[in-house]
Structure 1
């Protein structure tokens, strides 16, 4: 593997990040690399997604999918590297530039020595960061045209040191929901609160009530989370505003917990709004399902890691962060793995920069999982 070439490309991608469904230059660059490797390539799958297929040295019935996300975040890059983002307000603060490079490097290595029976589908997915690019690719026929028998994906994980890999059977990343609540119908002079419905007091009570739901409505044997992330209202020190809003997120691992918390958020909102004489409106959006690995593929992922020289162990517990690879795992068996990238800044930190030392480990694992699935000739 030409380490310098891949380092240069990773830095180039980091310097020129593109957000979800805007990955025009990134997609074109990926497609050109795959075409030069001799792969069958399709562009614009799910708007800006790219798919490349490599035939092994021998024919085989199985098609294995390897996926990398390639979008950046709408946040400023505060890093100090020479390759920091040159696009204001956009940065690769989650490491998708590294994921893209690892999959391209694996495609090159496998194309130069396709010593397996069957085919590999390299899936470069747009818009993972909240815009459901995986779902868009599926809806545009990804698996009709490329009926993968199993799927695998990597995410760099700063909580683990370089050279370690973790995954688990069952849930590994949480379902993610968003709620937006609007309380309206009050408003008046702050010195005459008895003459108006107090939207801010109602919002404050609702925030406290929402933060009790997990501990009082979900069994202690199950993990779940509800976090209020925004509260807005008012524009003057001497006025009770006519409207207040609350926004937050809910994370769960089972359908039952997800249903309970949505129902309880709606009930609490209605109850408290009515008790203050306010109109209470809520929008509740389930945007990503839980990411659930299948047992066989999780086991193969760990075995491939050991074969590739990584330290591999089952993850003790899933993460409450979310991932839209979940949509693909609803369609096909597969596994999502955490690849150690520490020490580094946390994911989504304004100074985050993908740890380049991770690249060879990721490439070795991706090639190893292909050989675990399709054999080695």
Structure 2
């Protein structure tokens, strides 16, 4: 593994940074202390052009290379999740109900490590824009930063991001050209019937049986309306209704997600849900409203950018540790908004065995931080070489 020597030299510092961030998780756009810590480190590295307060707490910092050239963007997300931590680590979250359960503390640390090296060496042409983004876990800080004009303001021409991957060998890389993560939409169904006594259901219009009918019918969209080779997952995740065993309730609520890659599939699902909700409501004599919210679009890697990223990953970790045909994931990622606006690539970096994402026992593997930082740094040098 060809981790950059200088980055290996301050690996212990990176561990300290990461564990500090892990102890103080913040949610959504409210990454104030995280952003303050990041800005302090960037200034320590001698980086002078730092814009703070983008999308509330986001940061863009620019490192000038040697001579004229393009601008490459590197992105890390900073927010945590509303989960009680169960790792038992000395550096566990000090804030009840919040923890870094998806590795964003590690992503931020890897980009800080690359920033320190690049600020010291500046062995590249043009500029590198370091993007520290809040609210990846929702409601979409990536889109807000794009809408705020950072890509145009800094002239960013291509973009790259890393995400830790439990279950893969430490320091391995996994990516693919084209779609790599799904689009995600959310549906809400509000059902209104007529409540009454459980002993006299004939005097009610029962929203419970209507909810059950809708859920069963929704399950047929994947199996009967979608071409089997088009990836699609529909998950009903919540049904809320009722208050006692002898009362037919007046209302019911159904909620879930839709994950897909093809815009035509998305449109088909939305139409079928409208048909199902309307039809089932009429059949059971209840009122029903479907609220269908389009969320993060699919994350689509540019082939040329992905080829460059794979070459750099092989240089860092060796050819045998790089999978350039990674099976696309049905999870979603708001880096997709940036990749919709500029070419780039999104890669997973293996962190070894252990709890998976969004689990209370998850913890980032500090041993891979120098690997990820080396990848970011070498990527800039290879994309924008001197001479």
Q: TM-score, normalised by structure 1?
A: 0.98
CA RMSD of aligned residues (A): 1.1
Which of 122, 134, 137 does residue 129 from structure 1 map onto?
137
2:382 paired residue number: 372
Report the Cα offset of residue 308 of structure 1. 1.2
Task: Give the conservation status (yes or no) of the 8 Å contact 1:46–1:138.
Answer: no
What is the aligned partner in structure 1 of residue 346 from structure 2?
Answer: 336
Cα distance, 1:376 vs structure 2 = 5.0
Deviation at 1:28, TM superposition (A): 0.9
Please name the residue that 1:10 is paired with.
18
**How much does 1:185 deviate?**
2.0
Q: Once the two structures are superposed, what CA deviation does each residue of 1:313-369 show, in whole Å capped at 9, x if it has no partner? A: 223421000000000011000000011112120100011111111111101111121
Higher normalized strand content (fraction of residues): 1
Among candidates 81, 96, 120, match of residue 112 of structure 1:
120
How many angstroms does 1:207 deviate by? 0.9
Residue in 2 aligned with 1:182? Answer: 190
Measured in 1, the distance between the counterparts of 2:336 and 2:219 equals 27
- The 5-angstrom pairing of residues 210-359 of structure 1 reads 210-310=218-318, 311-359=321-369
Cα deviations by residue, 1:22-55 (Å, 9 ceiling, x for unpaired)? 1111101111111222221110111100111111
Query: Equivalents in 2 of 1:4, 1:303: separation in Å?
Result: 27
- The answer on 1:93 being equivalent to 2:93 is no
1:215-243 deviation line (CA, Å, top 9, x unaligned): 21111111110000000100010111111
**1:193 equivalent in structure 2:** 201
Report the Cα distance in structure 2 between the residues aligned to 1:369 and 1:214, rounded to whole angstroms.
40
Give runs of aligned pairs for residues 30-179 of structure 1, distance below 5 A: 30-39=38-47, 40-56=49-65, 58-179=66-187
After alignment, is 6-15 or 315-324 more displaced?
Answer: 315-324
Report how far residue 115 of structure 1 moved.
0.9
Q: CA deviation at 1:304?
A: 0.7
The count of residues paired between Structure 1 and Structure 2 equals: 376
CA offsets per residue over residues 127-186 of structure 1, 9 Å max, x none? 100211011111222112112110000000113111211111111111011111011022
CA-to-aligned-CA distance 1:232-274 (integer Å, 9 cap, x gap): 1000101111111100000011111111111111111111011
Is the 8 Å Cα contact of residues 344 and 355 (structure 1) preserved in structure 2?
no
SS in 2 for 1:205: helix
Secondary structure in 1 aligned to 2:211?
helix
* TM-score normalised per structure 2: 0.95
d(CA) in 2 for partners of 1:316 and 1:122? 26
Is the CA contact 1:188–1:241 (under 8 Å) kept in the aligned structure 2? yes
For residue 351 of structure 2, give the secondary structure of its aligned residue in structure 1.
strand
Equivalent residues of 2:172, 2:317 under 8 A apart:
no
What is the CA–CA distance in structure 1 between the aligned matches of 2:295 and 2:163, rounded to whole Å? 20
> Shift of residue 371 of structure 1?
1.8
The unaligned stretches of length 5 or more in structure 2 are 1-6
Q: 1:77: how far off?
A: 1.1
Structure 1 stretches lacking a partner, 5+ long = none
Q: Is the 8 A contact 1:64 1:119 kept in 2?
A: yes
Deviation, 1:10, is 0.5
